[in-house]
Amino acid sequence: MVPFEAAPAQLSELRRVVRSQLGSWGASAVAEEAELVATELGANVIKHVGWDAAASLVLELRERRIRLEVHDRSGSLPTPLAEACADSGECGRGLHLIAAMAHEWGAVRTATGKFVWCELSVKPVECEGRMGRAAAVLSAYRQPNSTSSLDPVALDETVTDIITDLLHWLAVQGGDPDGALGRAQMHYEAEAA
């Protein structure tokens, strides 16, 4: 979760955060669309909730989708697109862009306000096979309560697959898998001793 104040100067920081996070997930192919969505959602907070309103951006990698949510403290949900276009000359350009790019999108009222969300499909080339699994593991690894209830044999196989996937990911990023594996083994042996 990335807190921000609704101001135009904050929108470039949101774009930077989105690009950085998607890069770490191996989903850079969808970064441009995700940056545009984050900008539009942030701009909607400025326009409809107010300058300097407290808000936050949430990014999640879910299967083959990137989910972006912008939370704010206003309980007012966006006007449906057809209704907004019929009622005024201003047709909700931001929501039209989001609807055009998103696999799905919506708005949810919460106890403290609302959030508007959108899911973008990850380009298959970028998040398939080993790299996609490595990105998902990296995302889950950062979650504080992600634990596994696998039996020891399944756990051993999963760890082996994760290490293999990470080595493939590192090679695609231009790193040295053999060197990393050797250093990891040395670190492991030093810490286990």
Which tokens go with 94?
């931001």
- Contact by Cβ (8 Å): 4, 10: yes
pLDDT for 161 equals: 73
Which tokens go with 119?
């899911």
Nearest in space to 52 (alpha carbons), one of 69, 35, 73: 73
Q: What average pLDDT does the segment 29-51 reach?
A: 91
Mean pLDDT of the chain: 79
Express as a percent the part of the chain with pLDDT over 90.
38
Q: Would you say residue 115 has pLDDT above 70?
A: yes
Rg (CA), the chain: 20
Read off the pLDDT of residues 124-137 as tens digits, 9 standing for 90 and up: 543 445 555 555 66
Q: Would you say residue 56 has pLDDT above 50?
A: yes
Q: What average pLDDT does the segment 7-30 reach?
A: 91
120 versus 184: the higher-pLDDT residue is: 120
DSSP code of residue 73? S
Read off the pLDDT of residues 160-183 as tens digits, 9 standing for 90 and up: 777 887 788 788 888 898 998 988
Exposed / middle / buried, residue 41 (Cβ in 10 Å: 0-12, 13-18, 19+): buried
Nearest in space to 22 (alpha carbons), one of 40, 3, 35: 35
Q: Please report, as a single letter, which amino acid is at residue 126.
A: E
- Contact by Cβ (8 Å): 181, 171: no
User: Domain 2-121 - what CATH class?
Assistant: alpha beta
Read off the pLDDT of residues 78-113 as tens digits, 9 standing for 90 and up: 876 445 454 555 555 667 778 888 888 999 999 999
Which tokens go with 160?
């082996």
Q: What average pLDDT does the segment 60-77 reach?
A: 91
pLDDT for 143 equals: 43
